[in-house]
Chain A
């Protein structure tokens, strides 16, 4: 379970998150939608402690992310994150990209790590690209590799930050299919997305962010069919 309680966050004088409350249950898929600069990415980076918060707290399986006593390196093993920008390790092959963290962070043997990596790469459809360097992959393949890399740590939670928005339109589908597979497997996921079709089909709940506030949250039928909030309706009509 991820519990976000009244989280505030600013960059300098810019208030980016203004009191976010959100609880994501085990196995739940929550999509986060909203305009540019509304704080969606910032929330994700706060959840795995890449960014500090100003006030409020975030609990992952009851562990307070920003508490002094929390070992973030340990906590992060439970939380996978995939970013919008491509972020492969360019000096490592696809297989080495995926085995790096299991080996260095979990201390697995090379063989153990490779066994897991191969399974994850097969799962995302990159079984034949293991010994290739990332620069040889298409954008969609790079994102799928990043997903496999995160999954190789067997996280309990996955955070996705607009993983398809840097992709050519024809590559979006293959990545979204990978996400759907994960959701079907029962992974707990928070997906920041601009893909409204995906949000509607896959999510248990959809949250709409507006200028640092979670203006509305509810099941997809309600958000897309009968949004209560004026800003939500306006946003949805603008992206359609």
Chain B
């Protein structure tokens, strides 16, 4: 029969790591989505050349490997003596990284709302704000959701990179156990299963919403 020296304590250790993963992901996705919303609206609202500087900065966050961003940001804050913890640094970097992708998702989804629909809204006397909140966002949400779910799941997996700043999240916790117990296959299997359990509800929620919206089409 199958035997393992993985104890309940060890499993708790992994779950604690998973908690950290979940927390980093939550802060990164929440912050990144809020920023992405604001930047995306700005990008959709103004002429491309006006938002060029913004687009340029976001492109940097999208093209430089996340690991490099994390290490540089951590080194920078240490040199500058900000005294920000690695956890907070990680959340900020990941949030900016998320924001960079989310901006393009939001911009694209807003652009997908037909101009004539927006004209209809404005011609009824709705203000720009009301047009945005009552018509554009609900319509754009349906376009953006699949990409946004994909982004969120991606960030959850990418958040493993924060272990390089010494944070013990799920993957790092697993590594520690692998080193100690010498059971890489089994422990990584458990870690993978935990990642799956974390991702599954988000993916399901997305599928559920899409299905509900489809019924109206």
- Given A91-B142, A101-B124, A104-B134, do A50 and B216 touch, yes or no (CB 8 Å)? no
Q: Is B217 engaged at the interface, CB distance under 8 Å to the other chain?
A: yes
Count chain B CB atoms within 10 A of each CB in A81, A89, A150 and give the residue with the most. A89
Establish whether residues B216 and A76, one from each chain, have CB atoms under 8 Å apart when the complex forms.
no
Residue of A nearest to B121 (CB): A89
Establish whether residues B123 and A105, one from each chain, have CB atoms under 8 Å apart when the complex forms.
no
Range class of the A interface residue count? 20 to 34
Count of residues in B whose CB is under 8 Å from the partner chain: 21
Establish whether residues A101 and B116, one from each chain, have CB atoms under 8 Å apart when the complex forms.
no
Which chain A positions have C-beta within 8 A of B122?
50, 76
Which chain B positions have C-beta within 8 A of A89?
117, 120-121, 134-135, 139
Residue of A nearest to B119 (CB): A50
Q: Give which listed residue, A77, A87, A133, A153, contacts B120 with CB less than 8 A.
A: A87
B residues in contact (CB < 8 Å) with A: 114, 116-117, 119-127, 130, 134-135, 138-139, 142, 213, 216-217
Which chain B positions have C-beta within 8 A of A74?
125
Q: Is A8 engaged at the interface, CB distance under 8 Å to the other chain?
A: no
Establish whether residues A100 and B120, one from each chain, have CB atoms under 8 Å apart when the complex forms.
no
Bound together, the chains give a CA A162 to CA B10 distance in angstroms of 71
Least distance between B194 CB and chain A CB atoms (Å): 36
Least distance between A54 CB and chain B CB atoms (Å): 20
Q: Is A48 engaged at the interface, CB distance under 8 Å to the other chain?
A: yes
Which chain B positions have C-beta within 8 A of A79?
123
Within A86-111, which residues are at the interface with B (CB < 8 Å)?
87-91, 100-101, 104-105
